[in-house]
Amino acid sequence: MSDTDAAAPVAALPTVLGALQDPVRLEVVRRLANAGQPLRCALTYDGISKSTAAHHFKILREAGVTERVTIDGNVHLRLCEEALNAEFPGLLDAVLRAANADADTPE
């Protein structure tokens, strides 16, 4: 059973870039993109509290970057890839390419 909250429309470019410019939020987006499917919220971050994560999720959601989806009674995060690509062609791909390159670089 799947039940979807209404997704926010994709925000203006500065707001979307502002949502993506935080390392925690960038990692959430990177994990969602690489998973290719909605993820349980807890799988999208490490090393921060639930309330800090909730703050970041809110910023992503309000920018129209992610939405909340309930699957089998569990809240998941879904990346709004189609909407972002329609609004800002190539932006998400370029950001993900860079974020994945960073993540692959040994510290």
Question: Is residue 48 part of the contact set for a copy of itself (CB under 8 A)?
Answer: no
Question: Is residue 18 part of the contact set for a copy of itself (CB under 8 A)?
Answer: yes
Three-state SS for 3?
strand
Out of 48, 54, 86, 98, the only residue in the binding site for a copy of itself (CB under 8 A) is: 98
Question: Is residue 62 part of the contact set for a copy of itself (CB under 8 A)?
Answer: no
Q: For tokens 């791909």, name the residue.
A: 93
In degrees and rounded to multiples of 5, residue 70 shows phi and psi of -100, 120
Out of 1, 6, 23, 49, the only residue in the binding site for a copy of itself (CB under 8 A) is: 23
CA dihedral for 62, 66, 67, 68, sign (positive or negative): negative
> Would you state the structure tokens that stand for residue 31, as one six-digit string?
């994990």
CA dihedral for 60, 66, 68, 74, sign (positive or negative): negative
Stretch that binds a copy of itself, among 37-45, 50-58, 70-78, 95-103 (CB under 8 A): 95-103
Question: Is residue 20 part of the contact set for a copy of itself (CB under 8 A)?
Answer: yes
C-alpha to C-alpha distance for 93 and 74, rounded to whole angstroms: 28
Nearer to a copy of itself, 26 or 77 (CB): 26
Summarize as ranges the residues that interact with a copy of itself (CB under 8 A): 12-15, 17-18, 20-23, 26, 87-91, 93-95, 97-99, 102
